């Protein structure tokens, strides 16, 4: 949708009032150059349900390089063979600007530096920069490591010094720093001083347990900045939903390096989310992090990492989620059409996203017209077919259909309503058999489908190892692929079932949402019925019909 140029995109100025943006701009702000340090491949890989292969990590590293981050933490080469393989592979991959960093711990208390396996693995990784973490919290020194506080200081210093002697640039991650500072500020600062004395070029303050509040972050960072002789970084975890806020507050005090992960993935509740931090820095704090050209790739990178990590995308994620700039209410849609700033805090394209108008029973005529136009269909606002379509949508949603996640079904419904769709096939019937021969055998499924394509009737059966829906999907494809070979490109990506009202028990109506895709795009379709197989058929059939729509539509 073309945006109107207005003087109120960022707020209007009243004649007798001070503009808020002027007040904000007068507040002190650090102007130091920022360093973006991504730890998706190490800290992010520790998230539950995430497992990257070495090849996956190389692909993600290339994508992060395209995004423009300065540092990519590749993993802990002393921890597992997969990370060793990644560092071997990445040496042969040309990166435009990013520096790959190896991560590991200070030496063990019982080992001299030259014989410490972890330090040797870090050197063998072959990176010019190494991030080394050590203990800053006296509780961890005495209870976790079981050594004296003085011994811990020696370990930090000689570990950093050894890597510096070997020609490496060293960043020091002060693990649990904020908890350590609150417990014993003198000792926590002493750990930093010893790392700096040994040659650490950056000191990163870590909120490892994720329990520190923003006002604590500010006070402690301001103190450390006065005491520490090298630039500081911030590494925040999200256990109190404060990781992004804590990172921004730290940067506002003059911290120069921010560490985080794409989509905030990480152990427990995750890490600071770079997909929120980066646009907040660029667009809200007016601090250059990536630059406009690279920032526009943010959504693409977010979805790429989600795909490689085999996770479901969070559609409600700020900035990069599908719903971040989606409008459903009729009043909202009407206002956004006049001026997007009424319900959008930034221009979506700045982060590679787009404005979406959702069609539902909340949608008015103007919102539906906007949606219809995205399908290349021109209707006037007073066209009776538009009102018929709107009425039909409201009836269907009252029956349980949902079109926000099923835009494939919505486009088909729209084309049928205005007389622009000719079905590619006709269902004559289907039959599904599920059999479990005995208690110890796995159940098997077989589906038989009879469809008509033109004047040809096709009767086909197929089995499915995944159950009756899988069998139905296979039988339908088998029947149609000889007529439409392009269906071989289609993959069923996701399948969801929702019980709409449990008051009828197992006879309750269900909604099936299916996401399908090929090598070019993804689309969602929906079906609703008291019978789960009928609902699945509706969604499957719509998925096939959508794929077969003319590409020049």
Distant-in-sequence, close-in-space partners of 274: CB < 8 Å, separation ≥ 6: 36, 38, 69, 258, 260, 261, 262, 264
User: 156 and 36: one domain?
Assistant: yes
Helix, strand, coil percent content, the chain, rounded in steps of 5? 45, 20, 40
Residue 253 resides in a domain: yes
Under a CB-based contact definition with an 8 Å cutoff, are residues 46 and 267 in contact?
yes
Residues in the chain, total: 553
User: 179 and 234: one domain?
Assistant: yes
Torsion angle defined by CA atoms of residues 101, 107, 111 and 114, in that order, rounded to the nearest 10 degrees: 40
Q: What tokens were used for 449? A: 């489908």
- DSSP letters, 270-325, are -B-BHHHHHHIIIIIS---SS-HHHHTTHHHHHHHHHHHTT----TT-TTTSTTTT
Residue 152 belongs to a domain with what CATH number? 3.20.20.70
User: 374 and 493: one domain?
Assistant: no
φ, ψ for residue 257, nearest 5 deg: -115, 130
Count CA atoms within 13 Å of residue 454 on its CB side: 4
255: three-class secondary structure by DSSP: coil
pTM of the model: 0.70
- Total domains present in the chain: 3
CA distance 428 to 326: 38
Tokens 């109107």: give the residue.
4
User: 335 and 457: one domain?
Assistant: no
CA distance 397 to 395: 6
What is the model's pLDDT at position 142?
Answer: 94
Residue 450 belongs to a domain with what CATH number? 3.30.160.270
CA distance 516 to 546: 10
Residue 405 resides in a domain: no
241: three-class secondary structure by DSSP: coil
Residue 9 resides in a domain: no
Task: Return the closest-CA partner of residue 88 out of 57, 51, 47.
Answer: 57
Residue 520 resides in a domain: yes
Residues of the chain with pLDDT under 70: 1-32, 359-367, 404-405, 464-465, 501-504, 553
User: Which residues on adjacent β-strands are paired with residue 36?
Assistant: 258
User: 302 and 346: one domain?
Assistant: no
What is the model's pLDDT at position 259?
Answer: 98
CA distance 334 to 24: 31
Range of the domain at 90: 32-308
Residue 332 resides in a domain: yes
Angle of helix 214-227 versus helix 185-198 axis, rounded to 10: 50
CA distance 451 to 536: 16
Residue 341 belongs to a domain with what CATH number? 4.10.430
Q: How far is CA 188 from the centre of its chain?
A: 34
Residue 432 resides in a domain: yes
CA distance 40 to 510: 38
Distant-in-sequence, close-in-space partners of 89: CB < 8 Å, separation ≥ 6: 54, 55, 58
CA distance 207 to 213: 10
User: Which residues on adjacent β-strands are paired with residue 458?
Assistant: 451
Single out the residue in 248, 276, 308 at which a domain terminates.
Answer: 308
Tokens 């109190």: give the residue.
240
Residue 182 resides in a domain: yes
Q: What tokens were used for 333? A: 């849609």
User: 373 and 515: one domain?
Assistant: no
User: Which residues on adjacent β-strands are paired with residue 131?
Assistant: 103, 171
User: 250 and 127: one domain?
Assistant: yes
Q: How far is CA 325 from the centre of its chain?
A: 15
Single out the residue in 308, 338, 357 at which a domain terminates.
Answer: 308
CA distance 86 to 62: 12
CA distance 102 to 347: 37
Residue 316 resides in a domain: no
170: three-class secondary structure by DSSP: strand
Task: Return the closest-CA partner of residue 406 out of 284, 528, 238.
Answer: 528
User: 500 and 362: one domain?
Assistant: no
Under a CB-based contact definition with an 8 Å cutoff, are residues 61 and 308 in contact?
no
Single out the residue in 335, 369, 385 at which a domain terminates.
Answer: 385
User: 380 and 458: one domain?
Assistant: no
- DSSP letters, 467-503, are -HHHHHHHHHHHHHTTT-GGGGG-EEEEEEEEES-GG
φ, ψ for residue 445, nearest 5 deg: -130, 145
Under a CB-based contact definition with an 8 Å cutoff, are residues 398 and 361 in contact?
yes
- DSSP letters, 47-76, are STT----HHHHHHHHHHHHHHT-SEEEEE-
What is the model's pLDDT at position 423?
Answer: 93
Task: Return the closest-CA partner of residue 73 out of 132, 156, 134, 158.
Answer: 132
User: 46 and 160: one domain?
Assistant: yes
What is the model's pLDDT at position 8?
Answer: 43
What is the model's pLDDT at position 442?
Answer: 87
User: 507 and 365: one domain?
Assistant: no
Under a CB-based contact definition with an 8 Å cutoff, are residues 89 and 125 in contact?
no
Q: How far is CA 295 from CA 68, 72, 145, in A?
A: 9, 17, 42
310: three-class secondary structure by DSSP: coil
User: 371 and 441: one domain?
Assistant: no
Other beta carbons within 10 Å of 219: 14
What is the model's pLDDT at position 313?
Answer: 80
């Amino acid at each position: 949708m073309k945006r109107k140029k207005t003087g109120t995109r960022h707020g209007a100025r009243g004649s007798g009032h001070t503009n808020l943006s002027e007040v904000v701009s007068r507040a002190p702000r650090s102007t130091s150059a920022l360093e973006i340090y991504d730890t998706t491949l190490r800290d992010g890989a520790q998230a539950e349900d995430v497992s990257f292969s070495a090849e996956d990590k190389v692909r993600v590293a290339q994508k992060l390089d395209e995004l423009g981050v300065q540092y990519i933490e590749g993993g802990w080469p002393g921890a597992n063979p997969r990370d060793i393989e990644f560092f071997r592979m990445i040496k042969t991959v040309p990166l435009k600007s990013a520096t790959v960093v190896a991560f590991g711990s200070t030496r063990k208390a019982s080992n001299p530096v030259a014989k410490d396996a972890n330090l040797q693995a870090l050197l063998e990784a072959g990176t010019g920069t190494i991030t080394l973490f050590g203990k800053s919290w006296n509780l961890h020194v005495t209870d976790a490591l079981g050594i004296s506080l003085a011994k811990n200081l020696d370990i930090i210093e000689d570990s950093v010094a050894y890597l510096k002697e070997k020609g490496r640039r060293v960043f020091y991650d002060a693990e649990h720093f904020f908890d350590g500072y609150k417990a014993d500020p003198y000792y926590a600062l002493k750990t930093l001083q010893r790392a700096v004395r040994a040659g650490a070029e950056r000191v990163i303050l870590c909120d490892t347990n994720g329990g520190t509040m923003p006002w604590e972050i500010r006070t402690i960072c301001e103190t450390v900045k006065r005491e520490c002789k090298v630039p500081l970084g911030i590494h925040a975890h999200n256990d109190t939903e404060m990781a992004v806020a804590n990172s921004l507050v730290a940067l506002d005090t003059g911290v120069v390096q921010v560490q985080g992960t794409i989509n905030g993935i990480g152990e427990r509740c995750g890490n600071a989310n770079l997909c929120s931090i980066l646009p907040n820095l660029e667009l809200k704090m007016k601090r250059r992090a990536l630059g406009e050209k690279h920032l526009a790739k943010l959504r693409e990178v977010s979805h790429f990492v989600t795909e490689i990590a085999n996770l479901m995308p969070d559609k409600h994620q700020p900035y990069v989620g599908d719903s971040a700039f989606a409008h459903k209410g009729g009043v909202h849609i009407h206002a956004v059409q006049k001026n997007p700033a009424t319900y959008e805090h930034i221009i979506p394209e700045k982060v590679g996203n787009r404005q979406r108008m959702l069609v539902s029973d909340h949608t008015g005529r103007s919102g539906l017209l906007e949606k219809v136009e995205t399908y290349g269909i021109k209707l006037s606002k007073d066209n009776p077919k538009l009102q018929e379509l709107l009425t039909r949508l409201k009836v269907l949603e009252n029956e349980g259909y949902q079109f926000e996640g099923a835009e494939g079904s919505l486009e088909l419904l729209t084309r049928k309503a205005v007389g622009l769709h000719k079905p590619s096939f006709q269902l004559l019937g289907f039959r599904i058999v599920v059999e479990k021969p005995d208690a110890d055998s796995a159940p098997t499924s077989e589906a038989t489908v009879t469809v008509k394509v033109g004047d040809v009737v096709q009767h086909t059966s197929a089995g499915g190892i995944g159950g009756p829906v899988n069998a139905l999907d296979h039988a339908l494809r088998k029947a149609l692929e000889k007529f439409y070979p392009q269906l071989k490109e289609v993959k069923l990506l996701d399948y969801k079932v929702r019980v709409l009202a449990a008051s009828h028990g197992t006879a309750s109506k269900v909604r099936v949402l299916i996401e399908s895709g090929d090598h070019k795009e993804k689309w969602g379709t929906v079906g609703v019925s008291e019978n789960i197989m009928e609902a699945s058929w509706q969604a499957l059939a719509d998925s096939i019909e959508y794929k077969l729509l003319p590409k020049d539509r």
